Amino acid sequence: MGLPREAGMPAVNSQVTFFYYEDLTAPEAFYGDLLGFEKTFDKGWVKFFRITTNSYVGLVASAQGHHKASEAKAVMLSIETPELEAWYAQASERSAAIEVPLDLDQPTNKLVTTFLLRDPGGYSVEFFRFNANV
């Protein structure tokens, strides 16, 4: 049940963004316990957490993965939600590492309202809502 596609385009069932870590213990707790995403796959060295019906974040142990964990974190997981304030309240209550706090008093001409967390491996996790008046 995906989006309509151009004629001749092959089907896509789901999407996974993979992050690489030296140790999966803290990231597993962050995505599972703190954010509350459902763990749907666990082979020990690779774990999937469902974000939406067909999108996931995958946590991979550097020793077994295709890539290796590195200092540079040039990837950001962005999650669009109409319930931005509820996500922010949950993250705050659960003592998440908030990198950029939610600012509801920002200019109304901004495309999105957002806040950013930092996961235990240093990756940015953005929660955002599109602003209808832009």
Q: Which of 27, 15, 81, 33 lies closest to 59, judged by CA?
A: 27
List the domain boundaries for the chain: 15-130
pLDDT tens, 97-125? 999 999 988 766 688 999 999 999 999 99
Fold entry, domain 15-130: 2,3-Dihydroxybiphenyl 1,2-Dioxygenase; domain 1 (3.10.180)
pTM: 0.87
Instruction: Please state, in angstroms and rounded to a whole number, the distance separating the CA atoms of residues 42 and 26.
Output: 15
Q: Per-residue pLDDT tens for 69-105? A: 888 898 999 999 999 999 999 999 999 999 999 998 8
- CA 114, distance to chain mean position in Å, is 13
Spatial CA neighbour of 56 closest among 67, 66, 47 = 47
